[in-house]
Amino acid sequence: MNEAITALRGRALERRFQLLDSLLAASAHWWRARPFHQRGYCWQDSHPDLCAALDRLADSELEHLQQNPIDAIRWLSPWVADGRRLHELSRLPRLSQRVISPPERLDHGIPGRKWQQLLAFASSVAPVAEPVLEWCAGKGHLGRLLAVVDRRAVTSLEWQAQLCAEGAALAQRFQHRAAPMHFAHCDAFAPEAASWVKPGGHAVALHACGDLHTTLMRHWAEKGGAQLVLSPCCYHLIRTKEYVPMSSAGRNGQTRLGREDLQLPLQETVTAGAAVRRLRERELHWRLAFDELQRQVRAEDSYLPVPNVRKSLLQEGFSAFARWAGAQKKLVLPAAIDEALYLQLGWQRLRRVRRMELVTHVFRRPLELWLVLDRALFLQECGAEVELGEFCERELTPRNILLRAWRAEAGGKEGTSDQAG
């Protein structure tokens, strides 16, 4: 499919959106499943043969399929007929980038993988002289990189005062080699945040979450911004129960998403170390074991969500975790908890969850691209030129989609292959 290997722009954005929208709407019974909430297979009644095949999968086979999406799609093809087509529609090009050469020690205090993400993102930003607004900046690592390699003034907007102070201190280290960098201590949702988005201005945002990056997009469109480069993240962090499409194409589409649906694209992680993954696996196991316990205690066969837990509690044993979770939900647990029983039941649940996720994960990237295309089409409907692609390999971060928007009258496209630094 030719669109999959060329930059997505213009009419191609709308065509891709319409194709994805149609297939996702037709496949909703697969991706709307809630594996973590179910005691049995979600499709036991409609597709018992699939459930039996999933049950027969050895753990080693499951791990292989989880790590090899093409093989997983092929394995699932007797049931999920549109898997291959959805995979093709989810492919994006690597956008044009320039070579940048930041000075030594500019990466001080930045984890290696994060630094590589920053370099890849900054390489996708045109080396122009105009000031740039860094939205949801944290310590301003991206802004500091642009201030140094491009000698362009940077305003880094961040709502946490401590991060602003730490970022300003880091910027001081390179003030002799950089353009001025200013931290704006401001809540991105506050009305005054809009004043930092200037008419004809430039803005960047790396992994700004949910409504934070859509708020920037609306300000940029309303103010008549010149250039915008952003990589979306955490689509589920919205202030409405249901997802409200930004574009008219999205509003007129067939796919409808709730907040829980928006979490599916985020279930792919490649950055966690082995210890973090083991702790996460233990937490999932214990949550499912507690779910079995709470169903018995309440005499009600329904899922009960439990809030986030401090990770140190996961070192104290299942009974301690269960009593903490029970207290959060005001449940009176038995004086003695049969740990062996509930841990075994939890392990059986986790085994089924992982196999059901083999199906739902086919739709992670298609749903993410649907969401990003909705954003791209919104900007296009507001009169901007838009280009969509990837700024790094997924092994660096699964959130590697980049949206570049510019206004033709403001001076050409955002992509560049120039040398800088």
* Cα radius of gyration rounded to whole Å, the chain: 23
pLDDT digits (tens, 9 = 90+) for 98-123: 999 999 889 988 998 999 999 999 99
- Average pLDDT for the chain: 93
pLDDT at 7: 73
What DSSP assignment string belongs to 259-282?
TTGGGGGGG------HHHHHHHHH
Contact 296, 39 (CB under 8 A): no
pLDDT surpassing 80 at residue 417:
no
In the DSSP assignment, the letter for residue 420 is -
Distances (CA, A) of 13 to 218, 272, 365: 19, 33, 16
pLDDT digits (tens, 9 = 90+) for 153-206: 999 999 999 999 999 999 998 888 888 999 999 999 999 999 999 999 999 999
pLDDT at 177: 82
Closest CA to 255 of 13, 27, 15: 27
pLDDT digits (tens, 9 = 90+) for 387-402: 999 999 999 999 999 9
Find all residues with CB under 8 Å of 291, minimum gap 6, and list them. 303, 304, 346, 349
% of the chain at pLDDT higher than 70: 95
pLDDT surpassing 50 at residue 420:
no
Closest CA to 355 of 72, 28, 25, 27: 72
pLDDT surpassing 80 at residue 414:
no
Q: Are strands 227-233 and 401-406 parallel, antiparallel or unpaired?
A: antiparallel
Q: What is the residue extent of each domain of the chain?
A: 112-239+375-410
Helix (H) or strand (E) segment spanning residue 121: helix 112-122
**314-343 b/e with 16+ CB inside 10 Å = b?**
beeebeebbbbbbeeeebebeeebeeeebb
pLDDT at 179: 87
pLDDT at 271: 57
**Architecture of the domain whose range is 112-239+375-410:** 3-Layer(aba) Sandwich (3.40)
pLDDT at 304: 95
Cα–Cα distance between 313 and 247 in angstroms, integer? 44
pLDDT surpassing 80 at residue 216:
yes
pLDDT at 232: 97
Residues in the chain: 421
Contact 17, 370 (CB under 8 A): yes
The model's confidence at residue 410, banded by pLDDT at 50, 70 and 90, is low
Entry pTM = 0.92
